[in-house]
Amino acid sequence: MALAWVLGMLILGPVGARAQSGCLLTPVPLAERVQLATRVVEAQIVEQRAELWPGGRIGTRSTLRVFAVLKGPAASSLELLTPGGTVGRRREVVSGSLTPAPGQQGIFLLEPDPEHPGALRLAAGPQGLLAYDLGTLTATDPFARYPAIGAGLYPTLAVLTNQTARPVQPNTGLEAARARAAQTAAHRPAATPSISSLSPTALPAGTNTVTTPSNPGILTINGSGFNASRGTGYVAFRNADNGGAGATQPLAGDYLAWSDTQIRVRVPSNSASGNTAGTGPVTVVNSDGSAGSSASLTVTYALTNIDDSGQNYRIGLVGPGGTANPGGYVLRYTASAAAGTAVPAAARTAFETALATWACQGGANRVIGSIDASQTQANQDGVNLVSFGALPAGVLGVTSSYYSGCFSGGTLYWVLTETDYTFSNSADFYYGTGTPGGGQSDFQSVALHEQGHGIQLGHIISSTGVMNFALTTGTTRRTLDAGTDLAAASDETSYSTSATAAQRCSFAAYAATSACPLPVELVAFTARYAPGQGTRLNWSTASELDAAYFAVESQEAGINTWQELTRQPAAGHSTSLRHYQAQDARPVAGLRYFRLRQVDQDGTVAYSSAVAVQGEAGALSAYPNPATGLVHLRGPLAPAGRARVQLLDALGRPVRTATGPTDQPAFDLPLTNLPAGFYVLTWDGGTGVQRLRLTVE
């Protein structure tokens, strides 16, 4: 029995070079998308061509053949602009952009493109296409699956647009698909594929390509009824770019072998539809159009690939950072006065926290350079820009990756020359280190995800991985997952650092970093005691990384126990000087030591060196006060002998008596079984009697 999603999209095949796209999204309700769109049409992409845009950027112009109009003026054809494309051996991919392949049908929700007057773009980015699956007569977007193109989708859109679909020209492809579905239902083919096993059951995507043919990433499917040759058959994987709501199928060049009982196929991070294979059921559809049983595959991680002439190629990282960062990349914030483009200080802190996480744990070699006041938006200009901008609704951030290709030994290689990061200037971001509000998106989590795209990691289907395609508002995802995110970063780093000069297109070699900034760089910690006022403690940090709080601890000379006095929340992450202070109001007799216990957000603990203060000579002190069970005593030094201590109740009667050495005049007095109340403590060390009021709780 065929599963509802497995038949895959009817794709005529990509043109030029294509790489998978994806971005971190929040759901935009269909009603809101329809309202945003100035045009809603049922259409098919019939032609695509890449073109150069201002600023050295590359875009793709897609011609839409319109079958029906659901909103807006009638037209038989429209043109859709999407950022990214290939011109010669230059390539640009924008993670927040969707560039469907020629042949793709669906409902296109279009709005004016603010960067290209008179042109149209998808409303709400990737959520602006309800992509048809002509095999199952269903449609999907990144967050939903519509089970019936005709019976379910058209009436819904009619309600939202307040008008019925106006036919423009026949949709022969959809009519043929409906006819095939009816014929298949009446006369199901005898050869139904059946999968008996997958080997292995867990694999990465995009690691086995033309440039890395010996790497893992080849799936062997055993079973029966596949047919002797592939013909029009294919393997359907879940689509990681929409969380598995739809299906995706490999490029023709990714099928390595096909027989009636076995298929060997690369697990694609860049498929025929430009999407990434994700964890979930895998199904075989044979050339008869029949889909049988499925088996589950775990896609551990995905690495970005570029499709050139039907073959996938891996991306290599290089080192264009020059003297500022040899072996890596230098990122720069924009400080332009242009509205909504500058990066606020709070966003920089969160962005750098994410950057340090990838550097320390994943070896990603990127540093923050000087601010670039001349740049306002992403351009292919050699500047790795971090900025805010007007992104489509529901798109939190995008990464623009720019590539260069070259031949070496007859093999084509692609390298990453530049990345730009743009974040939505209309999103409700939370920039702190705590928990965002219910309607807020955590900026550090978004930055961590987009920076993953920047080191050429694709989407996965995972509840814990940072590279999952979506982030729910009010939640955080700030920890790199070892089996997915870090495994992918390690794979990409290993591939890039081993490349020869020819394979990296003569760019400088990439060098992984192991630079792990100290959690806290403490530059000062002081304690000053003033009689009658107590001890004032001050400390300063030059930098912080994932710091949670500071705990102030004290210890009396001669007593080996540290006592926590108070806690101060840390800044979390900071690259500028931070100052803190705390007050200990207790009197000091003799020496008292203080130290800081610094605790990270993951629970890691570090201690500062201890500092000491000298109290009043001859003063009697007791702590804690009020006390329960035990009180620590310190009194004046005596010429010789032992100090005698008494605890008197409210009537002046001794209820406790103790003696202790006066060469180190500090000891503990038990208070067990004493009623709560006020007491007078006396200390006689041979130089006079000292008295102190003590409260017992």
Q: Return all residues near 500 (Cβ < 8 A) that are at least 6 apart.
A: 408
Query: Which CATH class name applies to 340-455+462-497?
Result: alpha beta
Give the mean pLDDT of the chain.
Answer: 86
| Cα three-residue angle 86-88-91, rounded to 5 degrees | 35
pLDDT tens, position by position, 35-65: 999 999 999 999 999 999 988 899 999 999 9
Q: Which two tokens stand for residue 396?
A: 């939190």
Using alpha carbons, select from 310, 300, 212, 214 the residue that is nearest to residue 255. 310
pLDDT at 563: 86
Contact criterion met (CB below 8 Å) for 97 and 129: no
Confidence class of residue 18 from pLDDT cuts 50, 70 and 90? very low
Please state the domain extents for the chain.
30-185, 194-302, 340-455+462-497, 521-615, 621-696
The answer, yes or no, to whether residue 8 has pLDDT greater than 50, is no
Give one DSSP letter per residue of 143-155, joined into a string. TEEES-IIIIIHH
Give one DSSP letter per residue of 230-275, joined into a string. -TT-EEEEEEGGGTTSSEE---GGGEEEE-SSEEEEE--SS-TTS-
Residue 474, helix vs strand vs coil: coil
Query: Which CATH class name applies to 621-696?
Result: mainly beta
The answer, yes or no, to whether residue 640 has pLDDT greater than 70, is no
Residue type, 441: S
pLDDT at 3: 25
The answer, yes or no, to whether residue 661 has pLDDT greater than 80, is no
DSSP for residue 549: E
**Which CATH code is given to the segment(s) 194-302?**
2.60.40.10
Using alpha carbons, select from 332, 238, 220 the residue that is nearest to residue 277. 238
The answer, yes or no, to whether residue 508 has pLDDT greater than 90, is yes
Confidence class of residue 10 from pLDDT cuts 50, 70 and 90? very low
pLDDT tens, position by position, 403-449: 999 999 889 999 999 999 999 999 999 998 888 988 899 999 999 99
Using alpha carbons, select from 419, 321, 320, 341 the residue that is nearest to residue 95. 419
> Rounded to 10 degrees, what is the CA torsion of 654, 659, 663, 664?
-80
pLDDT at 12: 23
The arithmetic mean of pLDDT across residues 566-590, rounded, is 85
The answer, yes or no, to whether residue 190 has pLDDT greater than 70, is no
Kindly report the length of the chain. Answer: 697
Q: Return all residues near 381 (Cβ < 8 A) that are at least 6 apart.
A: 55, 56, 375, 418
Q: Which two tokens stand for residue 540?
A: 């300063």
In a 13 Å sphere around the CA of 395, the CA atoms on its Cβ side amount to 30
> Rounded to 10 degrees, what is the CA torsion of 402, 399, 129, 49?
-10
CA 299 to chain CA mean position, Å: 18
The answer, yes or no, to whether residue 321 has pLDDT greater than 50, is yes
The answer, yes or no, to whether residue 172 has pLDDT greater than 70, is yes
Confidence class of residue 583 from pLDDT cuts 50, 70 and 90? very high
The arithmetic mean of pLDDT across residues 85-113, rounded, is 87
The answer, yes or no, to whether residue 5 has pLDDT greater than 70, is no
Any bridge partners for residue 457, and if so which?
303
Helix ranges, 333-459 (H): 345-362, 443-454
557 vs 423, residue with greater confidence: 423
580 vs 623, residue with greater confidence: 580
What is the architecture, at CATH level 2, of domain 30-185?
Beta Barrel (2.40)
The arithmetic mean of pLDDT across residues 674-695, rounded, is 80
pLDDT at 29: 93
Q: Which two tokens stand for residue 309?
A: 């002439």
The answer, yes or no, to whether residue 174 has pLDDT greater than 80, is yes
342 vs 200, residue with greater confidence: 200
The answer, yes or no, to whether residue 23 has pLDDT greater than 60, is no
499 burial via Cβ count (<10 Å: 0-12, 13-18, 19+): buried
Can you give 282-321 as a three-state secondary structure string? EEEECCCCCEEEEEEEEEEEEECEEEECCEEEEEEECCCC
Q: What is the Cα–Cα distance from 655 to 668, expressed in whole angstroms?
A: 15
- The mean-pLDDT minimum among 416-420, 445-449, 559-563, 673-677 falls in 559-563
pLDDT at 47: 94
Q: Return all residues near 377 (Cβ < 8 A) that are at least 6 apart.
A: 55, 334, 341, 385, 387, 389, 422
Contact criterion met (CB below 8 Å) for 404 and 89: yes
How many percent of the chain have pLDDT more than 70? Answer: 90
3-state helix, strand, coil in the chain (%, to 5): 15, 45, 40
Q: Which CATH superfamily is domain 521-615 in?
A: Immunoglobulins (2.60.40.10)
Q: Return all residues near 403 (Cβ < 8 A) that are at least 6 apart.
A: 19, 90, 91, 92, 93, 306, 315, 414, 415, 416, 417
Q: What is the Cα–Cα distance from 93 to 587, expressed in whole angstroms?
A: 66
Q: Is the peptide bond before 200 cis (omega within 30 degrees of 0)?
A: yes
Residue type, 125: G
Q: Return all residues near 119 (Cβ < 8 A) that are at least 6 apart.
A: 79, 81, 112, 113
Helix or strand holding residue 647 (H, E): strand 642-648
pLDDT tens, position by position, 246-280: 889 999 999 999 999 999 999 999 887 778 999 99
The answer, yes or no, to whether residue 7 has pLDDT greater than 50, is no
Same CATH fold assignment for domains 194-302 and 521-615: yes
pLDDT tens, position by position, 358-372: 988 889 999 999 887
Give the C-alpha distances (Å, rounded to integers) separating 2 from 9, 278, 279: 15, 19, 18
Using alpha carbons, select from 301, 251, 314 the residue that is nearest to residue 101. 251
- The mean-pLDDT minimum among 212-226, 349-363, 501-515, 680-694 falls in 680-694
Contact criterion met (CB below 8 Å) for 305 and 491: no
pLDDT tens, position by position, 586-638: 887 777 889 898 888 877 777 787 788 877 655 677 777 788 888 877 776 55
Q: Which two tokens stand for residue 44?
A: 């098919």
What is the pTM for the complete model shown?
A: 0.70
